[in-house]
Structure 1
Amino acid sequence: MSVKSKEKPLHSLFAGAIAGGTESFLTYPAEYVKTQAQFSYSSGQKAPGPITIIRETIRDRGILGLYAGVGAPIIGNAAKAGVRFLCYDYFKGLLADKDGKVSPPKSLVAGLGAGMMEAILAVTPTETIKTKLIDDARRAQPKYPKGLIPGTAAIIRDEGIAGIYRGLFPVMMRQGANSAVRFSTYSTLKQFVQGNARPGQALPSWVTFGIGAIAGIVTVYVTMPLDVIKTRMQSLTAKQQYHNSFHCAYRIFTEEGALRFWKGTTPRLARLILSGGIIFTVYENVIRAIGGRAV
């Protein structure tokens, strides 16, 4: 991939933020269902499937119940996508060869670095808040007030700043793996498609969407165990159940079985197929519109 014409940092940040916010709003119900499916249940109690979660949520809380905790991820996704694309372009530039090209392995490393940075700067606080608010919303008597700001204030009051950075390690692992797999898959597939297109021809949005969707599918199956551990470590009862991420993984494996690491795959698959298509398509169109170049 050539990086001779780099995006300006503000272009990458702005286009990534718009893409991230748009993607988060459109796909949030699937994220809500995935998170609910990953929480632990009492021994002998069967975890509900996606359709059951949707039906019971709408029955108990209405359609807006599927958007419980949506404020944090919209803000967080806008921030993390901006950071992700900014850092990816930066690392890609550092790893380019003298001809300005980035090989697939180097693209994977650039994606890994971008994912780690977004986990620290944006993802962990917003994901923790979102997970705690979703976990709280399913209780008969919710502990936290409704709304992003009062809910966040209550979480910080109860647990301190450290409370919203719970699960930092699994989030870093997940985001690093997510970005590494997603960016390298996307850039490799895009390079292949462009190699069969006319020189200088911009790819249609439907092609960009399809490539991004395929990258999303690959990302889901590779990184799902890290996502399950991350969700458990950010739940309201994490401190009582798990000593650390490794203890969490051990308990899931020994008490619930290996397949539990892929619980919530269906809704996450639905979200990341859409997410991959939406975020790359919006990013590339925004970057073109403001005078930059495509990824």
Structure 2
Amino acid sequence: MSQGETDQRPLATRITSAVTDLAKPAENELARWRRTFERFATEDVDGKKYLSPGQFIDAIAPTEEGFSKIRREQYSVLFRVADSARRGLIGFEEFVVFETLLKRPDADYQLAFQVFDVDASGTIDFDEFKAVLSSNTAASGIPFDFDCDWMKLYLGKRGGQHVLGYHEFTQLIKGYQGERLRQAFHWFDKDADGYINPDEFQRIIVEIAGHKLSDSVLERLPTLCTMNPGKRISYSEVIAFHNIIREMDAVETLIRRAVRKSKDGRIDVSDFLNEAANSMRYGMFTPMEANIIWHFASRGGVGSSTRLALADFQALLDAKWQPPQQTFQAEKKVSGTFLQEFANSVYNFVQGGIAGGIGAYVVYPIDLVKTRLQNQRSTVVGEVLYRNAADCVRKVYANEGGIRAFYRGVVPQLVGVAPEKAIKLAINDLVRKKATDPETGRIALGWEIAAGGAAGGCQVIVTNPLEITKIRLQMAGEITRAEGGHAVPRGAVHIIRQLGLVGLYKGVTACLCRDVPFSMIYFTTYAHLKKDVFNEGRRGKHLSFGELLLAAGIAGMPAAYLTTPADVVKTRLQSQARAGETVYKGVLDGLRKIAQEEGPKALYKGGLARVIRSSPQFAATLSVYELLHKHFPYPFGPQAQTAARPVLSTQTDISRVRARNALRILLDCSSRFGMVGTESAAKNVALLPKVLRSS
């Protein structure tokens, strides 16, 4: 049987064939269909379960559609296709046949064909096509002449022998919308002067493309008349607007490309047309079409020379777009007071501390090895204690008490890491938010670097006391062993008392020299990896856990290695010097003496260990932080309201996409398609957007 033919075999034969066609690798798919059927089917007839129309819609409709532009009732059109026995219920066998059909690459057009093929003959004649369309377009009040020359090109004259096969039908249904538009304009243009009124234009577009445009654009359709004197709309403008709708995917692609190339994140009509000329081989957008795009993107208030941001185009590009004021008001109601904002900040602070603690604990043994290697002086009398990182791990484990030795000083690290990470993240976010253009979402590279530097500088308030205490504890085991095991290791409290407040900030300059450039490099690299490499935000994309982990890990590598010299000097300044070791007066003195006495390579001691430690630490910290935000959001914020709503699937089965696309093909004939013949047509019309009801 060819792809275009309709299967006319008995139902039992079709079922057997469908099941047989499922190869062994697809047996799990049959089991999945069984689970789906059993989940929704409750109608019990003669001991067998069946799907009612409502249950069938629940089983096959894509949940993330939200029924905002395609009404739930309209999916009943597909129920009539699946209900081959015409009993008003669908058994498992029929459900398998329908699901098998959805697996076909042209399932959307196959379903549309079967809707028009009322007698299941495998062909569509003139009367069938007219009957189905008439019943679904009558409510619009805009007639369609089925005896026109355009119809004769496809079906010949009425009463003739020409019928449409599947492939011919696909071309007819694709071209129908253009003929519907032409006839509708001609019907409204009573005096044949080539103009119609704004409300008449609105009625036409709502009828043939209401499902493709947001309510905001639908309500502003009459404003198209303001583009030219006369306050009426020409056929050229109607066709231009229809071309925009038909090529909306290309429009969005060109706008996004042009915005990415723009220095300020804004584009004008000339930028759009230039991008179209560079990107499209044959298709082109006319100046009128581009001006219409700008008219609706700018709410009709500016000219084509005005530069617009990507956010300005969303109402036109996204059929489910809602005014941002609604979201803002909802957030304002929940988080409008200072106490509520403070509580939210504290909640985020705690989550940042938990995430930072987990990240620090995971890599702490690596940090201990890094500290030992950096503090090792090759000029000290006697042989070098550790040849490399592996030798350090072996000797610490063998001589200092096993695994526990690798976690000396971990407690102050965990205590201090919460405020450190909270300060770093908060300051970086604060500066970035203040420096970001609210319309374009762009931030200058200089401000990105400044935000990271400010975050690194502020964190030193907590980091320096934490680091010096940690280093003294990490070196305690080595000092005890060097002194023959007679010295008793001291804890964090003893070290803090010994150093005093001023001593806790010893080496603070070196700490600043390390943390400021580290944060400059890290946060800037992390932001650009997410945006430019993993395409966060493009087409509403949210990064997966793995992508966040990878971006955070990669960003930590150059930041950690390039700041190693400052970290080496800081470690030497903050550690307790032993007899015979060089004493450093400051950062510059330390850099000079280390380079002279041990060679430039000594400035990068422990550099690999820093990369191995910092990269996974920041990856773990930020990833855990993202997970905490996702699974444990602030319980009293705006997200708490949305959390109560059903969680919608982020990945739609391709078969569900094809079921939805079949309806879109039919909705191109009429936005009301499938809403006739129900128990209450008035009720269904009442569910439509206000502008659609009024028309």
SS in 2 for 1:138: helix
SS in 2 for 1:57: helix
Structure 1 stretch displaced more, 12-21 or 32-41: 12-21
Question: Aligned-pair distance for 1:105?
Answer: 2.7
Residue in 1 that maps onto 2:179: none
Q: Does 2:555 align with 1:215?
A: yes
Residues 200 and 142 of structure 1: CA distance in aligned 2, closer, same or farther (over 3 Å)? farther
Within 5 Å, which residues of 2 pair with 1:1-16?
Answer: 9-16=345-352
Residues 28-76 of structure 1, C-alpha deviations (whole Å, 9 max, x = no match) = 0100000000013315633521111100111012111111111111122
CA distance in 2, matches of 1:72, 1:144: 19
Residue in 1 that maps onto 2:464: 124
Question: Aligned-pair distance for 1:176?
Answer: 1.1
CA distance in 1, matches of 2:478, 2:582: 19
Length, aligned pairs only:
287
CA distance in 2, matches of 1:112, 1:142: 44
Question: Aligned-pair distance for 1:242?
Answer: 1.4
Question: Aligned-pair distance for 1:273?
Answer: 2.0
* Aligned mate of 2:402, from 42, 52, 62: 62
8 Å contact 1:111–1:181 — kept in the other structure? yes
Structure 1 stretch displaced more, 218-227 or 136-145: 136-145
Residue in 1 that maps onto 2:359: 23
Question: Aligned-pair distance for 1:125?
Answer: 0.5
Within 5 Å, which residues of 2 pair with 1:131-142?
Answer: 131-139=471-479, 140=481, 141=485
CA distance in 1, matches of 2:391, 2:575: 21
8 Å contact 1:228–1:261 — kept in the other structure? yes
Which runs of no fewer than 5 residues in structure 2 stay unpaired?
1-264, 266-309, 311-323, 332-340, 640-695
Residues 127-186 of structure 1, C-alpha deviations (whole Å, 9 max, x = no match) = 00000111222122475645xxxx233223333222221111111121111111111000
Question: Aligned-pair distance for 1:109?
Answer: 0.9
Q: Does 2:442 align with 1:101?
A: yes
8 Å contact 2:368–2:474 — kept in the other structure? yes
Residues 164 and 67 of structure 1: CA distance in aligned 2, closer, same or farther (over 3 Å)? same
CA distance in 2, matches of 1:158, 1:78: 24
Question: Aligned-pair distance for 1:288?
Answer: 3.0
Structure 1 stretch displaced more, 165-174 or 239-248: 239-248
- When you count helix as a share of all residues, which structure comes out higher? 1
Within 5 Å, which residues of 2 pair with 1:1-295?
Answer: 9-41=345-377, 42-43=380-381, 45-46=383-384, 48=386, 49-60=388-399, 61-99=401-439, 100-120=441-461, 122-139=462-479, 140=481, 141=485, 145-146=489-490, 151-195=491-535, 199-237=539-577, 241-289=583-631, 290-291=633-634
Amino acid at match of 2:370: K
CA distance in 2, matches of 1:59, 1:172: 35
8 Å contact 1:136–1:236 — kept in the other structure? no
Question: Aligned-pair distance for 1:98?
Answer: 4.7
CA distance in 2, matches of 1:260, 1:284: 37
8 Å contact 1:212–1:280 — kept in the other structure? yes
Question: Aligned-pair distance for 1:14?
Answer: 2.8
Q: Which has the higher contact order (CA 8 A, sep 6+)?
A: 1
Residues 163 and 25 of structure 1: CA distance in aligned 2, closer, same or farther (over 3 Å)? same
Question: Aligned-pair distance for 1:97?
Answer: 2.8
8 Å contact 2:464–2:508 — kept in the other structure? yes
Amino acid at match of 1:108: I
CA distance in 2, matches of 1:277, 1:240: 36
Residues 228 and 180 of structure 1: CA distance in aligned 2, closer, same or farther (over 3 Å)? same
Question: Aligned-pair distance for 1:215?
Answer: 0.4
Question: Aligned-pair distance for 1:102?
Answer: 2.1
Structure 1 stretch displaced more, 72-81 or 6-15: 6-15
Question: Aligned-pair distance for 1:11?
Answer: 4.8
CA distance in 2, matches of 1:283, 1:154: 33
Work out the percentage of aligned pairs sharing the same amino acid: 28
Amino acid at match of 1:190: K
Question: Aligned-pair distance for 1:193?
Answer: 3.5
8 Å contact 1:91–1:110 — kept in the other structure? yes
CA distance in 1, matches of 2:487, 2:435: 48
TM-score by length of 2: 0.39
CA distance in 2, matches of 1:104, 1:11: 30
SS in 1 for 2:541: coil
Residues 143 and 244 of structure 1: CA distance in aligned 2, closer, same or farther (over 3 Å)? farther
CA distance in 2, matches of 1:94, 1:144: 52
8 Å contact 2:353–2:418 — kept in the other structure? yes
Question: Aligned-pair distance for 1:276?
Answer: 2.5
8 Å contact 1:136–1:144 — kept in the other structure? no
CA distance in 2, matches of 1:115, 1:143: 37
Which runs of no fewer than 5 residues in structure 1 stay unpaired?
none
TM-score by length of 1: 0.88
SS in 2 for 1:243: coil
Residues 176-213 of structure 1, C-alpha deviations (whole Å, 9 max, x = no match) = 11111111000011011453775223211111111111
**Which is higher, the Rg of structure 1 or of structure 2?**
2
Question: Aligned-pair distance for 1:19?
Answer: 1.7
Query: What RMSD, in angstroms, separates the aligned Cα atoms of the two structures?
Result: 2.7
Question: Aligned-pair distance for 1:108?
Answer: 1.4
Question: Aligned-pair distance for 1:16?
Answer: 2.1
Residues 183 and 12 of structure 1: CA distance in aligned 2, closer, same or farther (over 3 Å)? farther
